[in-house]
């Protein structure tokens, strides 16, 4: 189900200009509305002080399309995790991750997730619907306002599978780039892989970072960890990844969550290296964030380093990505699941 509602957030400057002109206002008010919507972060049209007072009263009830913060948790490392109330009463998560040089927002693309990954808190909950472009943009504006700092990077690594919501994702990328002003090379899309969708996405020839979640070096284990992968074999996925690189001329990232004594052996590292040999890619190794619903454990630092070394030994460019905010329901979907409980 897709939420249908005529709201202002998610409209381009041309669409906003048409909107004001349809209401008898001069076209320059479209540019003013665009500025207040995407750079001042208004939640109501009554806030647009450059509009005539009488007209502001007239349009006061027209929906801007902003969410409200249901819950905010701040970790010791200053990472902030938000539960946001959507217009229809559903709840999503988003995360603000600050460093000395950047502010990254981890956005959700769906309410819940239908992929049912066995190790994922979001996958253990119910899938409700896709998010609209406006609901994706709202997450960025919410974090930006709360931090009182400009967002520099956006990663689609929150709740949901982005390629199952590709139309709204493409629209959101355009708005993030052209209207909010964040460069495409500062955006990352993460997917477990959907048949035909990787090539469809590649054909847009965006300059983003594209990340594919593998989490296994063979088909049997991948089906155990990601049940839906039985409809999209590992060999087909890798072939599509190679085509993605050919079409976009950009390096592809593979994400690999390390689960103790499940997918972190040296033999599996060699198997993974052979699978990824021969085209432009990079592997992000991610230590697991445990959740209550399953018994998977995080690999030890020694096993993580050994796995990394083995990949590099076979010529695979590899890095280890440690999660932020571990004390604060770090795994995606944990905070929302805790709220519903």
Is there a binding annotation on residue 125? no
Q: Give me 84's structure tokens.
A: 């946001």
Is there a binding annotation on residue 214? yes
Is there a binding annotation on residue 160? yes
Is there a binding annotation on residue 120? yes
Beta bridge partner(s), residue 103: 98
C-beta separation of 247 from 203 below 8 A: yes
Contacts of residue 138, Cβ cutoff 8 Å, sequence gap at least 6: 9, 65, 66, 67, 84
Sole residue written with tokens 């050919």? 246
Beta bridge partner(s), residue 71: 83
Any catalytic annotation for residue 271?
no
Contacts of residue 322, Cβ cutoff 8 Å, sequence gap at least 6: 287
242 vs 199: CA distance, rounded Å: 10
Annotated catalytic residue, options 93, 135, 168, 255 = 93
Is there a binding annotation on residue 308? no
Annotated catalytic residue, options 106, 133, 308, 332 = 332
C-beta separation of 173 from 144 below 8 A: no
Is there a binding annotation on residue 333? no
Helices 234-248 and 266-276: crossing angle in degrees, nearest 10, is 50
139, 142, 148, 151 alpha-carbon torsion, rounded to 10°: 10
Is there a binding annotation on residue 215? yes
Any catalytic annotation for residue 332?
yes
Is there a binding annotation on residue 106? no
Q: Give me 311's structure tokens.
A: 């990949």
Residue numbers annotated as active site: 93, 332
Residues making up the annotated binding site for S-adenosyl-L-methionine are 160-161, 190, 213-215, 289
Residues making up the annotated binding site are 113, 117, 120, 160-161, 190, 213-215, 289
Residues making up the annotated binding site for [4Fe-4S] cluster are 113, 117, 120
């Amino acid at each position: 189900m897709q939420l249908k509602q005529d709201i202002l957030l998610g409209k381009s400057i041309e669409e906003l200009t048409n909107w004001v002109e349809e209401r008898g206002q001069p076209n320059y008010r479209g540019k003013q509305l665009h500025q207040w919507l995407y750079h001042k972060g208004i939640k109501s049209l009554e806030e647009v002080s450059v509009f005539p007072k009488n007209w502001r009263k007239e349009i006061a009830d027209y929906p801007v399309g902003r969410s409200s913060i249901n819950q905010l948790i701040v970790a010791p490392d200053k990472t902030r995790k938000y539960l946001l109330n959507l217009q229809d009463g559903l709840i999503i998560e988003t995360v603000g991750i600050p460093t000395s040089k950047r502010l990254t927002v981890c956005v959700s693309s769906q309410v819940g997730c239908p992929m049912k990954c066995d190790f994922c808190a979001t996958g253990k909950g119910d899938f409700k619907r896709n998010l609209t472009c406006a609901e994706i943009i709202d997450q960025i504006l919410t974090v930006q306002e709360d931090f009182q700092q400009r967002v520099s990077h956006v990663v689609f690594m929150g709740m949901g599978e982005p390629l199952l919501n590709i139309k709204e994702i493409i629209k959101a990328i355009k708005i993030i780039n052209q209207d909010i002003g964040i460069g495409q090379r500062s955006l990352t899309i993460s997917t477990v892989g959907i048949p035909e969708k990787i090539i469809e996405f590649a054909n847009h020839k965006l300059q983003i970072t594209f990340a594919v979640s593998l989490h296994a070096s063979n088909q049997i284990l991948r089906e155990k960890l990601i049940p839906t992968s039985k409809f999209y074999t590992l060999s087909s996925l890798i072939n599509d990844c190679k085509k993605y690189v050919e079409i976009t001329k950009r390096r592809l990232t593979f994400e690999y969550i390390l689960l103790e004594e499940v997918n972190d052996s040296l033999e599996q590292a060699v198997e993974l290296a052979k699978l990824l040999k021969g085209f432009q890619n990079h592997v992000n190794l991610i230590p697991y964030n445990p959740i209550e619903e399953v018994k998977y454990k995080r690999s030890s630092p020694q096993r993580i380093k050994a796995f990394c070394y083995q990949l590099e030994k076979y010529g695979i460019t590899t890095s280890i990505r440690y999660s932020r905010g571990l004390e604060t329901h770090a795994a995606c979907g944990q905070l929302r699941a805790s709220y519903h409980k």
